Structure 1
Amino acid sequence: MQNDDGAVAGAEREPERAGQRPEDEPNAGVVTAFGRQLKLLRLRAGLDRTEFGKLVGYAAQSVASFEQGRRIPPPRFIDGADEVLDAGGVLKALKDEVARAQYPAFFRDAARLESEALELFLYAVQAVPGLLQTEEYTRALLAMRRPLLDTDTIEQRVTARIARQDIFNRWPAPLISFVIEEAVLRRPFGGRAVMRGVLERILLIGQKRNVEIQAMPTDREDNAGVDGPFTLITHKGGDQVAYLEVQGRSILLSDRDDVRSVAARYGIIRSQALTPRETTEFIEKLLGEL
């Protein structure tokens, strides 16, 4: 989940399209149904959008977008709306399905596997992995996409990507390992201030006991990562899948021989990279250069 968007096992999905709205994707029905249910419950409660918005902490314009299915509501809004409207869990029951609709269609299966993972091993060559990004970095990254994404889509993707970082608060804590190419850590998406923020976040997350972050120096003569980025996901039962992504297309590999090959490659890459302690010193040096 290098750029954090995936597929179904052994198959390819079409890439996302510029300015894509929720109703343009397969899960649009869930978002539309949620919006209609929300409106019915609000009207039953005798609240206009402004009154309701004040109670849940959202502007009337945002409430209208949620009701009309033009924006995907975040989990915090769904929880608050269910309580304010005395919905008895009706809205909360849709929360998981609505959450999955936040992601591009081709990433939803991978996002579900990631959220349930016991182990995650990521090799990043183009951008800082989504689990380590800051809002500012994610927004800058998405703003550079071509064809252009509209503002609502960018904000939706930012919210979804940052929400995935709840994985760091899970218990039992999953084992997470990152190997990041040096060029990624030097590429100033969004400018120096944004890059400083994301490097500081990497250092912060790297202090967690269940997380190891390693940098791969550009001057390494030996680097087994020549075939590009990938993610290994271990789920319940110990089975692994490998996630590959390039140019808006992605594949989830489940064949044991294929996955075993990717896992072996990751072990070699890891051995060739800086150690976590050396990586911390390296990133601190980069920060000093900004």
Structure 2
Amino acid sequence: MHEKHTREDHHEGAVDAGDDGRSGGTTTIDRSVPHPSRDVELPEDQDSAQDFLRALGKLFKRARERAGLTQQEAAERLNFGVDLISAIERARRIPQEELLHAADDLFGADGMLTTVIPDLREAKKKVRTRHPAWFRLYATLESHCVELHSYTTMVIPGLLQTEAHVRALHEVRRPPLHSDVIEQRVAARIARQPLLLEPGSWPPPTMTFVVEESVLHRKLGGTEVHQEQLRHLLRVSALPWVELQVMPMKCADHPGLAGSFSILTPRGRPQVAYTEGHGRNELITDPERVRLMAGRYGSIRAQALTPRQSTTLIESLLEER
């Protein structure tokens, strides 16, 4: 019997954060990927990453000031939000490589900002350790996945959330979280998203998501935050490696009433499942249980709206103010 990992007080979606084996033939085992039924804990290494981000933020600020630009002016010229520029300089956000290239040109930094990009990639990996220790294994398996399938009943999947939406989720937590903890968990959640938005290898992981329609009606964080989240869902759904479906509220036959779960296939490792709800979370490695949940997910997808119908529904919600 394979091991089952269960931990308390974590809800990923709401408050935290060779051969790929898909096409037959011999599967190469990647030893750098942890084994889901053995590697329960991963080492912490967040201090060096945070120190690097602080240094990068200071470097970014210095280059901007030498160019004679305010944060607002830099944001407008770079076509990024001023809040993002401020957050980078305060080491609250990890800058995208695209932003560093553009800023280096705008500030006339002569490669000062782009030369650290390899170090930035390493820092991104280390930032994942901001998750609770018992969640790090799943986050690491996720970062090495070749397939990811997620069904959510109460929240938008964490990989699809905007920064403002993530923050709103943490701010409504009861009992409340300290502001520093919120910022750490927001950063940890956002640090997972390059897997979806900026895959480092080709082909990218295959990703499918099914979201309950009721989730899309909840204006968490207010109208503006909600509208931007819906627009982000449309952008993500246009990615060729992503399929987003909505489970309509009028669906009478519903195989997913037991709650949210994910099915994950790490590269060269056995498929696993992950469930969460009411502060209790479980990483499932038993092959038979995983097989049954994968079958359930197939039924859920079959009864949900098609990706095109789902996009149309989201667009109609955007028209409602």
Give the aligned partner of residue 193 of structure 1: 224
Candidates 53, 58, 64, aligned match of 1:54: 58
Map 1:117-132 onto structure 2 (within 5 A): 117-132=145-160
Q: Distance in 2 between matches of 1:245 and 1:72?
A: 30
Give the aligned partner of residue 242 of structure 1: 273
Residue 12 of structure 1 aligns to a residue whose secondary structure is strand
CA RMSD of aligned residues (A): 3.4
Q: Distance in 2 between matches of 1:173 and 1:137?
A: 25
Q: Distance in 1 between matches of 2:226 and 2:194?
A: 22
Residue 271 of structure 1 aligns to a residue whose secondary structure is helix
Map 1:1-290 onto structure 2 (within 5 A): 10-15=4-9, 30-31=45-46, 34=48, 54-55=58-59, 57=61, 95=123, 98-168=126-196, 169-170=198-199, 171-237=202-268, 239-290=270-321
Structure 1 residues 67-96: Cα deviation after superposition (integer angstroms, max 9, x where no partner)? xxxx9986669x9xxx99xxx9xx889747
Give 1:55 deviation, angstroms. Answer: 2.8
CA gap 1:10/1:72 in 2 versus in 1, 3 angstroms: farther
Residue 120 of structure 1 aligns to a residue whose secondary structure is strand
Aligned residue pairs total 244
Residue 11 of structure 1 aligns to a residue whose secondary structure is strand
Q: Is the 8 A contact 1:120 1:177 kept in 2?
A: yes
Q: Distance in 1 between matches of 2:282 and 2:167?
A: 25
Residue 192 of structure 2 aligns to a residue whose secondary structure is helix
Q: Is the 8 A contact 1:124 1:229 kept in 2?
A: yes
Q: Distance in 1 between matches of 2:295 and 2:93?
A: 38
Structure 1 residues 204-234: Cα deviation after superposition (integer angstroms, max 9, x where no partner)? 0000111000000111101100110000001
Q: Is the 8 A contact 1:120 1:175 kept in 2?
A: yes
Q: Is the 8 A contact 1:74 1:99 kept in 2?
A: no
Residue 243 of structure 2 aligns to a residue whose secondary structure is strand
CA gap 1:31/1:237 in 2 versus in 1, 3 angstroms: closer
Give 1:164 deviation, angstroms. Answer: 1.0
CA gap 1:269/1:149 in 2 versus in 1, 3 angstroms: same
Give 1:270 deviation, angstroms. Answer: 0.2
Gaps of 5+ in 2: 11-40, 63-89, 101-110
Q: Is the 8 A contact 2:146 2:206 kept in 1?
A: yes
CA gap 1:152/1:140 in 2 versus in 1, 3 angstroms: same
Gaps of 5+ in 1: 1-7, 17-25, 40-48, 59-70
Letter in 2 for 1:129: P
Q: Distance in 2 between matches of 1:243 and 1:111?
A: 11
Residue 180 of structure 2 aligns to a residue whose secondary structure is helix
Residue 153 of structure 1 aligns to a residue whose secondary structure is helix
Give the aligned partner of residue 16 of structure 2: none
Letter in 1 for 2:249: T
Give 1:179 deviation, angstroms. Answer: 0.4
Give 1:30 deviation, angstroms. Answer: 3.7
Letter in 1 for 2:147: E
State, as a whole percentage, how many aligned pairs show the same letter.
Answer: 41
Q: Distance in 1 between matches of 2:207 and 2:136?
A: 20
Structure 1 residues 151-202: Cα deviation after superposition (integer angstroms, max 9, x where no partner)? 1111111111112110122132110000000011111111111110111000
Letter in 1 for 2:59: L
Give 1:237 deviation, angstroms. Answer: 3.1
